[in-house]
Chains A and B, each alone.
Chain A
Amino acid sequence: MNKHYVLIVPGLIMGTFARVHMMKSDYRQYPTYPRGYLSHFTLGFIAAGLGAVAVPALIEKEFTAITFLALAAQQFREVRNMERESLDNIEITEMVPRGTAYIEDIAKTFEARNYMAIITALVTSTIIHVFIILKINMHMSIFLGMFVGLAVHIFIKRMIHGEEISDIADVKEAKISFDGPILKVNGIVITNIGLQTQRDIFLSNGLAVEIIPKDENAVMYLSNMGQRQAIQHNAANQLGVRRDFDEPEFTPVAKRDPENGNIVMVITIMKPNIDALIEAVKGTPLLETSKRKPLDSVVGLRLMKNRKKV
């Protein structure tokens, strides 16, 4: 039995490392809750353990042990539910809500990270086992196994790392103006602001940006309401929205220009800084749920061809 520790321990270490490494990069999606870290670290450790013992179980011909992986999958779906519920519950406390699409995206990400811990641990122990069978020195096998595990982790990390708004669109400063009570950004009607005092706040503390999609796919991404809500949340979260719960008129609004699919967003900020706002908008993750690729369809290609002819 002891010989299996050579497979289990490095797998466990690499799987847990993979989970912990991903925890560092999620500051934007999740506040730094120490308790959240602990629960995710523990779940990551369990995931790594399940991945690491799979190969020794097969060696011992304990095929039923593999069914535990199915159990693990069920368990990690629960992680998704846990994250979703938790974020849903705090949604009403947010000054600018994340929106259901963003929450779903975050929940999916957390589930995927546990699978990554399993895969990293599984690959590490498999590679070590293969090298040991090939009669390669044990220390060398462990080193190579951990190296391949690390490479797989980095590969998956890159694979699941989503795009950002800056990848699909340009973000530029836009002009806020009033036509009587009508608030406009670059000529697009946003809303009706009745009181002069509130209009003055929009003119003094308001900032606006125009998000210009780079292609037709991007137009579809940005038309998604969940994506727009995520942009508003990110901007408000990073810059500090100038509003309280009893001032619904200062809620950030992102509207679409129906002619060209551009998005204009207006937000009131305590210390307005347009460069910071553009940076926050550009850095907003592109939600999986908002992804559409009309250009990959027959219809999309036909429309593009027609456009080129014109």
Chain B
Amino acid sequence: MQIELGDLIVAIITMNKDAVGTGGTAPVFYVGNNEHLGELSEKISKILDGVVHDIGMGTYIIVKH
């Protein structure tokens, strides 16, 4: 039997340290600029087969649906 996690934030990538606290289940990656934000999000989402969502405030979350 295969058990999978669904609708779970698996990573947070942000330019805005104030928007995201530490802790929780998902690792937080801090980046310096918009370009790096997109690049890193894409790389991590490819590894985790997750979907990148832009929640504003310079923050992307990767969600496993």
Contact = CB atoms under 8 A, between A and B. Distances in A.
A194 B49 contact: no
A244 B60 CA distance: 22
15 contacts: A181-B54, A191-B51, A192-B53, A192-B54, A193-B52, A193-B53, A194-B51, A195-B42, A195-B52, A197-B42, A198-B52, A245-B49, A246-B49, A249-B51, A249-B52
A74 interface: no
A195 B41 contact: yes
Pairs A-B, 8 closest by C-beta atoms:
A194-B52, A181-B54, A194-B54, A192-B53, A249-B51, A246-B49, A194-B53, A194-B60
A248 B38 contact: no
Interface string B1-45: 000000000000000000000000000000000000010011001
Contacts of A191: 51
A64 interface: no
A194 B41 contact: yes
Contacts of B49: 245-246, 248
Interface string A174-199: 00000011000000000111111110
**Among B50, B54, B60, residue most surrounded by chain A Cβ atoms (within 10 Å):** B54
Contacts of A248: 49-51, 65
A99 B46 CA distance: 25
Given A191-B51, A194-B51, A194-B52, 11 more contacts: A180-B54, A192-B53, A192-B54, A193-B53, A193-B54, A194-B41, A195-B52, A245-B49, A248-B49, A248-B65, A249-B51
B46 A246 contact: yes
A181 B46 contact: no
**Among A181, A192, A246, residue most surrounded by chain B Cβ atoms (within 10 Å):** A192
A191 B50 CA distance: 14
